[in-house]
Amino acid sequence: MKRHFYLLLMMLAMGVVSCDIIIKPDPNVVTVNGDSVEVVVNVKVNGNTDTVVPEQKPVDIAQCDMVMLDKGKLYFYNSATQSMAQFEAETDSVVNSVFVGDKLYYCVPENGMIVLKSIQLDDPAPQPVKVADWGLKYEKCVTETYGTVSPLYYYPEHNMLGLWHEFSWDSYALTQQKLYYIATGKMTDDWVKYGSDPEEDVFYEQLETADGQYWCRKDGKVCLSDKIDFNQYVSDPDYASEREYSFISTSPDKTKVLYAAILEWGDLPHGILAVSSIDGKIQIPLEDTDYTGYVAEWLKDGSLVYVGEEPLSPDDPDYNANWHYKTHCIKRVFADGHIEIIGHCSDFKVK
């Protein structure tokens, strides 16, 4: 297995309750109810480095469009105001979550079993509500590769939630899924035919790979990848392969494309993510990402949020000057192309 193969599925999350944000003497650190959460450091704005902090005011959970999941705690984030708050009502360690309308569903381990809970986001004082017991041991929902927990999936066509379990080394993945029907409360192991997703992104039909580059045919043939030197992101020449491109998604306004450049093969394909405008004028490599196990989603305003990595700070307890330790961070690519770090954790969900 390649040393850079990693899965970013560790989902720790859930909650909701307003709180005060206090700025510490270090302007790069925000303290949220006693738990230190680094936000927006080494902000890259068109090649310049700057630092900013979220707006200091209480956060309306119902207006938040993103949750950051870190060490069993959930932080709600409002992308419009760049403000954040921790949900403290949940005392158990949250392992995954998903938005469903005005609710957030999530799972916690309880006596070694996985339990489904929810919160009503527009409630003035939201509290955790136990919804169902999955009937699954917690350990059955954890991968044997990197110890990551199964995410919680929502299937809108059937208004149901899905949780994968039973890891297999043959596929490097969890192989069975249990389903929960929200309307009826029925729990089943039966597979269903999902059919096509009504929100399926068909923009990929306008994209093609030719001459080692990625092209868009929407308004004439435009190259999306010629401004990026992908060769510098090959980590091991022994695993390098002929370059391939894999479509992921387009922005809500259909002006930008998120894709992966596959640069190497181990047990699975590896390479970095990139985002380009369909006119080819903006081309941004999302450094410290990997196609295998990526986490990236679009916000409604056209900005992209994704999990990347950055070197640990020398004052971090895990720092070692002899090794290149890194930490997961959430980065946001704004519509104009500049990038900001908005938090440090391994996963998130977008409403």
Domain for residue 10, yes or no?
no
Q: Based on the domain organization, do 168 and 83 belong to the same domain?
A: yes
The structural domain count of the chain equals 2
Residue 160 lies in a domain: yes
Query: Which residues, 6+ apart, have CB-to-CB distance to 136 below 8 Å?
Result: 113, 114, 163, 165, 178
Q: Which two tokens stand for residue 330?
A: 């959430």
Residue 134 CB partners (closer than 8 Å, separation 6+): 107, 113, 114, 115, 116, 163, 178, 180, 187
Q: Per the structure block, which two tokens stand in for 140?
A: 């059955």
Identify the pLDDT of residue 324: 60
Q: Which residues pair with 210 in a beta bridge?
A: 213
281 and 165 within one domain: no
Identity of the amino acid at 278: I
CB burial class (10 A; 0-12, 13-18, 19+) of residue 334? middle
Judge if 168 and 215 occupy the same domain. no
- Do 180 and 276 reside in the same domain of the chain? no
Q: What is the pLDDT of residue 321?
A: 66
Query: What's the whole-number average pLDDT of the chain?
Result: 79
Does one domain contain both 163 and 299? no
Question: Is residue 303's pLDDT more than 50?
Answer: yes
In degrees, rounded to 5, the angle at the alpha carbon of residue 53 between the alpha carbons of residues 51 and 58 is 175
Give yes or no: residues 53 and 180 share one domain. yes
pLDDT > 60? residue 33: no
Residue 88 phi, psi (nearest 5): -105, -10
What is d(CA 57, CA 43) in angstroms, rounded to the nearest whole number?
A: 21
Longest dimension (CA), the chain: 59
For residue 295, tell me if it sits in a domain: yes
- For 216-223, what is the mean pLDDT? 89
Q: Is the pLDDT of residue 37 over 70?
A: no
Domain end position, chosen among 128, 160, 188:
188
Do 328 and 211 reside in the same domain of the chain?
Answer: yes
Q: Which of 145, 162, 188 is the last residue of a domain?
A: 188
197 within some domain: no
Is position 2 within any domain? no
**Residue 13 within a domain:** no
pTM flag (> 0.95): no
Same domain for 275 and 133: no
Q: What is the domain range of residue 208?
A: 203-350
216 and 182 in one domain? no
Contacts 24+ apart (CB under 8 A), 305-313: 305/66, 305/330, 305/331, 305/332, 305/333, 305/342, 305/348, 305/350, 306/273, 306/330, 306/331, 306/333, 307/8, 307/331, 307/346, 307/347, 307/348, 310/42, 310/341
Contacts of 71 (CB under 8 A, 6+ apart): 12, 93, 345
| Whether residues 254 and 174 fall in one domain | no
Model confidence pLDDT, tens digit, residues 122-160 = 998 899 999 999 999 999 999 998 788 999 999 988 899
In a domain, 15, yes or no: no
> Does residue 37 sit in the same domain as residue 184?
yes
**Of all residues in the chain, what percent carry a pLDDT higher than 70?**
79
Tokens linked to 117:
């809970």
pLDDT in tens, 247-274: 999 999 999 999 999 998 887 788 999 9
Query: Domain end: 188, 220, 246, which one?
Result: 188
Whether 139 and 182 map to the same domain: the answer is yes
Asked, for residue 50, whether it belongs to a domain, the answer is: yes
Per-residue pLDDT band for 58 (boundaries 50, 70, 90) equals low
